[in-house]
Structure 1
Amino acid sequence: MNQVMVAVEGISDEGAVRSILREFNLTVHLTLGRNGKAALLSKISAYNDSAKYMPWFVLVDLDSPDTCIVEKLRQWMPNPSEYMLFRVAVSELEAWLLADREAIAQFLGVSVDRVPRNPDSLKDPKQEIINLARRSRRREIREGLVPRQGSGVAIGPTYASDIRNFGESMWRPKVAAEESPSLSRCLRRVEELANKLYKNTDALKDHLRET
């Protein structure tokens, strides 16, 4: 059993989640959510009930590095089921993406020296990516990720899909974890879940051989 149910705040998060799971030979069975944090959290009890029987990976943003992550974990997921992996990105998933400085610099078409270190401490990692995109040598990045003046929106027209694709195809979770403590903790928890799943699979195989 290597397939995992996933719930995320938005489509831009999907690629990175796939890359994280892939590091431990896990794959996505189905992705739910994609309608923001409030909608995701409103269904968290149902997801947790399902996680009594099948593996789940639910990811939300902390939104502020000054918020206590332990308190939020207790508030949002006080009693996780056996197969529930509930993680919080500090302060947004974009901070984890920025932590792979070489990959994000290549993707955005900027010098790696412009990519900040210690991304977990950033107040607004998404805005940091947009600001870097403004300096991009690539027109498609500037026009896709940066919101058009007067549009009234916070991100460019292809931001979500471009970030999703970067997270899945270019971003390296284990490299990024060296710059992001919150991502490093997440990878440890995913590894624990993978070990549990493969152990249970081996136990099932042994049982079938004995019967």
Structure 2
Amino acid sequence: MKINEKYLESLKSFDDYVTVSEWAEEVVKKYPEILKKAEKNVINHKVPTSALQQVTRQISSEITRGKYAEYIKIDDTERPRRVKYISKEELDENTTQDIEEDLEPLNRKEIEKYSEDKMALKELYRLDEFRNIQKAFKTFFKLDFELDHAKALLNKQDAGEHHPDNFQLILKYHNGKKSNNNWKRFTIKEQIEYIEKAIELQSLLASRLDIVIDKAILDSILSRLKAVY
């Protein structure tokens, strides 16, 4: 069995994501000869290092170079990154899902363009104002709100419309969690409360982020939002 095959066999021991160092620990536990070889290699290292660190570096380097791309799934949403062994069936399923997700922006743009071509002037104005309000929060308060469709355009069971009556502003992180799920649209009262809570949190870091929380600007933006919501 080749060394990379031993690495993968070790990773199969885990049912969930693990760090690369945890993977390396399992490797040397399962295959002591790998540890012995690494111990010989580190003897003459200028920088003090352990055999386990050497194995961890080797695996980490190979992950970065894509050597195990067909066999592992990587979660790099936090550090250190975590990995998980995936079967061929899981890989095929993930590949199909990735393709669908890559196509989503194009599908969404086509739906939006088709809808906007049919919108009355008033709806186009509301759409434009929603987008301007979104930009204003980014410019003046460094808040990354996204213009969300409460009923998602790409929901497979009950797709929503690209229309101002379906718009709401939610933070990018929350929108990522929402994905293509349908949520009940905020009432205007709920929408304003949500925005004010986000502003309140932002104000705690205002001095560090070089932000001035200008109440007059906020009131003006919220007034515009009420008018088109």
TM range (shorter): under 0.3
- The alignment's TM-score, normalised by the length of structure 1, stands at 0.26
- The alignment's TM-score, normalised by the length of structure 2, stands at 0.24
Larger Rg: 2
Higher relative contact order (CA 8 A, sep 6+): 1
